[in-house]
């Protein structure tokens, strides 16, 4: 009997759910069974604020150590939690098709964030979301929270909080049941989200068996990879950590790559934004078949390279406009 492939994943309900989705797809592509290997990350046991933990890969390091030690064959990450610096010996084999990249504000009665009254208690642990919420409604009282999706929703349902801000993709992957609560969807133009939000990353060793790599690469969605490359390049070029108050979103529209990037002051009082539109090479259709380009894609002069340059140019313009004064710098993104 063929030995199962081992998929390393965090232990949370959301991580296990989205890893199982990938496991099923890899099993279909490879013809081999795939088993989940739950792994504890620093971010799962360290209850410090995300603003204190910074961009040190606290949700990825433990998984990557297990992968390097051959305790698993590949990993599934939420891409927004993944540092932009790729470790030696590891490669992103696939970025599956992206889910909804938006944030949502969840309340008991559907009151929009901008209409919440003075002192309304809004829960989020993300410095970006804190800055955006305060800019959107400076009257609210931000509560720095951690925890899984269910526990955060429970704090609204029980009246401890008036609202929480969550990723739409996570709610959707868990079935979309808010237990009677109501969600306000936040538009990406006014409220750009974390680089790579809504996307997953399938990571493996660069010396993995070629047949396994080929099966993983079948999950790659080129449109997603192009968009998240632009977004994450902005973060990298700004030298900002994963939890920095930076919102980016890129989309492909009729052959154009459209990139929006905004840097916020931590208290929401200032922001600096940039919009870039880049025409992709003629003939690029952005089809959704697996490209199998892997880590070498940025060298081919195609849409990945164009996305990289677009992200670098956006970051350069943000820095020229004073973004360095707003963003906490991180040398370990």
Averaged pLDDT for residues 41-55: 52
- Asked if residue 309 belongs to a domain, the reply is yes
CA-CA distance, 19 to 14, in Å (whole number)? 8
Whether the per-residue pLDDT at 13 is higher than 70: the answer is yes
Bridge-based pairing state of the strands 74-78 and 141-143: unpaired
pLDDT confidence bin for 293, thresholds 50/70/90: very low
Does residue 146 sit in the same domain as residue 263? no
- Asked if residue 332 belongs to a domain, the reply is no
Which of these three, 159, 185, 211, is where a domain ends?
A: 185
DSSP 75: E
Does residue 200 sit in the same domain as residue 305? yes
Does residue 25 sit in the same domain as residue 71? yes
Whether the per-residue pLDDT at 103 is higher than 90: the answer is yes
Which pLDDT value is given to residue 241?
67
- Asked if residue 331 belongs to a domain, the reply is no
For the ranges 84-93, 152-161, 255-264, 323-332, the lowest mean pLDDT is seen at 323-332
Q: What percent of the chain has pLDDT over 90?
A: 79
Active site residue 81: yes
- Asked if residue 146 belongs to a domain, the reply is yes
Whether the per-residue pLDDT at 117 is higher than 80: the answer is yes
Active site residue 108: no
Which residue matches tokens 């070498």? 296
Supply the angle between the helices 149-157 and 13-30 in degrees, to the nearest 10: 140
- Find the catalytic residue in 73, 81, 221, 239: 81
Whether the per-residue pLDDT at 128 is higher than 70: the answer is yes
Bridge-based pairing state of the strands 200-205 and 74-78: antiparallel
CA-CA distance, 333 to 264, in Å (whole number)? 18
Active site residue 260: no
Averaged pLDDT for residues 305-315: 97
pLDDT confidence bin for 153, thresholds 50/70/90: very high
Active site residue 316: no
Bridge-based pairing state of the strands 200-205 and 141-143: unpaired
Which pLDDT value is given to residue 274?
96
Distance from the first to the final alpha carbon of the chain:
41
pLDDT confidence bin for 68, thresholds 50/70/90: very high
Does residue 71 sit in the same domain as residue 160? no
Whether the per-residue pLDDT at 292 is higher than 60: the answer is no
Q: Which residue range(s) make up the domain with 15?
A: 5-99+194-325
Does residue 87 sit in the same domain as residue 208? yes
Does residue 200 sit in the same domain as residue 297? yes
- Asked if residue 26 belongs to a domain, the reply is yes
Which tens digit of pLDDT belongs to each residue from 179-209? Answer: 999 999 999 999 999 999 999 999 999 999 9
pLDDT confidence bin for 333, thresholds 50/70/90: very low
Q: Which residues, 6+ apart, have CB-to-CB distance to 111 below 8 Å?
A: 162, 163
- Find the catalytic residue in 10, 98, 129, 225: 129
Which pLDDT value is given to residue 291?
39
Does residue 204 sit in the same domain as residue 291? yes
Active site residue 146: yes
Whether the per-residue pLDDT at 42 is higher than 80: the answer is no
Does residue 157 sit in the same domain as residue 269? no
Does residue 147 sit in the same domain as residue 16? no
- Find the catalytic residue in 64, 121, 152, 276: 152
Which pLDDT value is given to residue 297?
40
Does residue 115 sit in the same domain as residue 95? no
pLDDT confidence bin for 146, thresholds 50/70/90: confident
Whether the per-residue pLDDT at 81 is higher than 70: the answer is yes
Active site residue 80: yes
Any idea what the CATH number is for the domain that residue 175 is in? 3.40.190.10
Which pLDDT value is given to residue 231?
97
Which tens digit of pLDDT belongs to each residue from 234-290? Answer: 999 998 766 689 999 999 999 999 999 999 999 999 999 999 999 997 655 554 333
- Find the catalytic residue in 64, 80, 98, 276: 80
Active site residue 100: no
Which pLDDT value is given to residue 331?
42
Whether the per-residue pLDDT at 308 is higher than 60: the answer is yes
Does residue 177 sit in the same domain as residue 298? no
Average pLDDT, the chain: 89
Which pLDDT value is given to residue 1?
59
- Asked if residue 76 belongs to a domain, the reply is yes
Residue with the bigger pLDDT between 290 and 213: it is: 213
* Radius of gyration in angstroms for the set of CA atoms belonging to the chain, rounded to a whole number: 19
- Find the catalytic residue in 10, 242, 260, 276: 242
- Asked if residue 330 belongs to a domain, the reply is no
Does residue 163 sit in the same domain as residue 206? no
Which of these three, 165, 185, 205, is where a domain ends?
A: 185
- Asked if residue 160 belongs to a domain, the reply is yes
- Find the catalytic residue in 6, 10, 64, 128: 128
Which pLDDT value is given to residue 46?
47
- Find the catalytic residue in 146, 157, 316, 317: 146
pLDDT confidence bin for 147, thresholds 50/70/90: confident
Token digits of residue 11: 């232990």
Going by C-alpha positions, the residue among 267, 303, 265 that lies closest to residue 282 is 303
Token digits of residue 73: 């064959």
Which pLDDT value is given to residue 301?
72
Which of these three, 185, 219, 242, is where a domain ends?
A: 185
């Amino acid at each position: 009997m063929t030995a199962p492939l081992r998929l390393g994943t965090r232990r949370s309900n959301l991580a296990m759910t989205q890893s199982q989705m990938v496991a099923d797809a890899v099993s279909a592509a490879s013809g081999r069974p795939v088993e989940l290997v739950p792994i504890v990350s620093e971010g799962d046991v360290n209850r410090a604020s995300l603003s204190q933990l910074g961009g040190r890969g606290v949700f990825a390091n433990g998984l990557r150590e297990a992968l390097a030690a051959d305790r698993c064959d590949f990993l599934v990450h939420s891409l927004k939690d993944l540092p932009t610096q790729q470790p030696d010996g590891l490669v992103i084999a696939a970025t599956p098709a992206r889910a909804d990249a938006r944030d949502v504000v969840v309340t008991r009665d559907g009151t929009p964030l901008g209409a919440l009254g003075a002192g309304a208690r809004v829960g989020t642990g993300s410095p970006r979301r804190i800055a955006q919420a305060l800019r959107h409604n400076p009257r609210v009282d931000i509560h720095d929270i951690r925890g899984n999706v269910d526990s955060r929703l429970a704090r609204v349902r029980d009246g401890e909080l008036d609202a929480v801000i969550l990723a739409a993709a996570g709610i959707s992957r868990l079935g979309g049941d808010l237990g009677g609560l109501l969600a306000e969807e936040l538009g990406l133009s006014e409220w750009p989200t974390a680089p790579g939000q809504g996307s997953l990353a399938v990571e493996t060793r660069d010396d993995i068996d070629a047949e396994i790599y080929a099966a993983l690469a079948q999950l790659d969605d080129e449109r997603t990879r192009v968009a998240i490359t632009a977004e994450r390049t902005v973060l990298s070029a700004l030298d900002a950590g994963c939890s920095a108050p930076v919102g980016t979103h890129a989309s492909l529209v009729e052959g154009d790559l459209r990139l929006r990037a905004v840097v916020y002051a931590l208290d929401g009082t200032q922001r600096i934004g940039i919009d870039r539109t880049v025409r992709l090479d003629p003939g690029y259709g952005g089809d959704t078949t697996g490209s199998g380009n892997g880590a070498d894609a940025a060298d081919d002069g195609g849409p990945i390279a164009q996305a990289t340059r677009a992200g670098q140019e956006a970051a350069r313009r943000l820095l020229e406009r004073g973004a360095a004064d707003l963003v906490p710098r991180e040398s370990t993104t």
